[in-house]
Amino acid sequence: MTQIDHIIPQDVSELRLHELWSSYSLPIDFDIHDPHNLAPICIPCNGVESKGNATYEA
């Protein structure tokens, strides 16, 4: 089983997001929920205690 999670967390602060824009040359129209910011991750690695419980068959 696997989950889909944000690479840059969806709860990132505005200040930190601005730092990431500068550091990684993110596009000006970067969307935190864009598929380019999502990745599959194994459930134990994702820490299900603090995340949603949506799972997907790999």
Kindly list the domain boundaries of the chain, sorted by start residue: 2-50
Rg (CA), the chain: 13
What pLDDT sits at residue 54?
57
- Alpha-carbon distance 35 to 33, whole Å? 6
What pLDDT sits at residue 53?
55
Task: List pLDDT tens digits, range 1-58.
Answer: 788 899 999 999 999 999 999 998 999 899 999 999 999 988 887 775 555 555 555 4
Residue with tokens 């040359």: 25
What pLDDT sits at residue 3?
85
Secondary element (H or E) of residue 47: none
What pLDDT sits at residue 58?
44
What pLDDT sits at residue 16?
93
Beta carbons of 7 and 46 less than 8 angstroms apart: no
Q: Whole-model pTM? A: 0.68
Beta carbons of 40 and 6 less than 8 angstroms apart: no
41 bridge partner residues:
3
